[in-house]
């Protein structure tokens, strides 16, 4: 799947600014409609290190009502979380009826880092495909809208961003040894990701694969994907101009 993405796709700054304004306005209207209808929204972000998840989430949320949004950055589990089923720490963060939760990394770590690095046994991560599909089906049946995003970059672009971060004291904190370790296992992560898409793409929780070498392109594609999905479920947004 990922090999079919055209990573050369770009968006000029002027077109980006116009589309950003339009899509953020449409999303704000749709988000308020979700609140009024008491529909929870769950957005899960996955992708390569330095793929631009944080900046993408910022553009997605910056014009939405912050009272109805929570963003969780997911890192390695705590000792308490390790004492529970791996989905427990996500279950405790699920949104209420009128709320939106965005996960920067998610339960798909079971099928990615935990699989590749050996933190889960083969039996555990193979079992997780059905567990995750059932988990998402349960949430969908209860009214939640689920959107899953994969930000894809080339190895060359990832290296460029790594080096840029290391050269900038204000961004160096974003880098750690695990980033370089994971990069050294690119092919293993690629295999895990491809199988993940094949086995966890469903009608109720589909994956959106995003070309991420150009950040402007990636931000607009994600915004458009979210707006399109919400319009499909909630109905068309009013004229965008009325929501600005």
Predicted confidence at residue 174, as pLDDT, reads 86
Mean pLDDT throughout 135-143? 98
Q: Each residue of 180-237: pLDDT tens digit?
A: 888 999 999 999 999 999 999 999 999 999 999 999 999 999 999 999 999 999 998 7
**What confidence tier does 159 reach under pLDDT thresholds 50, 70, 90?**
very high
Three-state secondary structure call for residue 148: strand
Per-residue confidence (pLDDT) for residue 238, from 0 to 100:
66
In the numeric block, which tokens belong to residue 77?
């589990």
Q: Please tell me the chain's helix, strand, coil percentages from 3-state DSSP, rounded to the nearest 5.
A: 55, 10, 30
Rounded CA separation 201/75 (Å) = 24
Query: Above pLDDT 70, what percent of the chain?
Result: 97
User: Is 145 within 8 Å of 42 (Cβ atoms)?
Assistant: yes
**Whether the Cβ atoms of residue 210 and residue 221 lie closer than 8 Å to each other:** yes
Residue 210 is inside which H or E element, if any?
Answer: strand 207-211
Cβ–Cβ under 8 Å, residues 172 and 166: yes
Residue from 175, 177, 180, 154 nearest 165 by CA: 175
Q: Could you give all domains of the chain from N- to C-terminal order, each with its CATH number?
A: 18-231 (3.40.50.300)
Residue 6's pLDDT is 98
| pTM for the structure as a whole | 0.94
Strands 41-47, 69-73: pairing is unpaired
Q: Can you spell out the DSSP letters for 15-42?
A: HHHHHHHHHHHHHHHHHHHHHHHT--EE
The number of residues in the chain equals: 244
Q: Would you list the DSSP string of 35-104?
A: HHHT--EEEEEEESTTSSHHHHHHHHHTTS-GGGEEEEE--SPPHHHHTS-TTHHHHTT---TT-EEEEE
45-89 per-position pLDDT tens digit: 999 999 999 999 999 999 999 999 999 999 999 999 999 999 999
């Amino acid at each position: 799947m990922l090999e079919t993405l055209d990573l050369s796709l770009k968006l000029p700054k002027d077109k980006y600014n116009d589309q950003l304004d339009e899509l953020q306005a449409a999303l704000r209207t749709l988000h308020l409609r979700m609140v009024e209808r008491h529909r929870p929204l769950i957005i899960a972000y996955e992708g390569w290190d330095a793929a631009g998840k944080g900046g993408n989430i910022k553009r997605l949320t910056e014009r939405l009502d912050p009272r109805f949004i929570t963003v969780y950055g997911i890192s390695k589990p705590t000792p308490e979380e390790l004492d529970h089923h791996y989905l427990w720490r996500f279950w405790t963060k699920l949104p209420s009826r009128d709320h939106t939760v965005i996960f920067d990394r998610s339960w798909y770590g079971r099928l990615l880092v935990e699989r590749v690095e050996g933190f889960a046994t083969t039996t555990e991560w193979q079992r997780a495909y059905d567990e995750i599909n059932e988990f998402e089906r349960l949430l969908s049946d209860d009214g939640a809208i689920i959107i899953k995003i994969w930000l894809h970059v080339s190895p060359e672009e990832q290296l460029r961003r790594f080096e840029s971060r290391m050269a900038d004291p204000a961004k160096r904190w974003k880098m750690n040894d695990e980033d370089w370790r994971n990069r050294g296992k690119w092919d293993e992560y690629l295999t895990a990701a491809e199988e993940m898409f094949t086995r966890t793409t469903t009608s109720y929780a589909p994956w959106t694969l995003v070309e991420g070498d150009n950040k402007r392109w990636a931000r607009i594609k994600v915004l458009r994907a979210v707006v399109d999905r919400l319009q499909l479920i909630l109905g068309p947004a009013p004229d965008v101009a009325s929501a600005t």
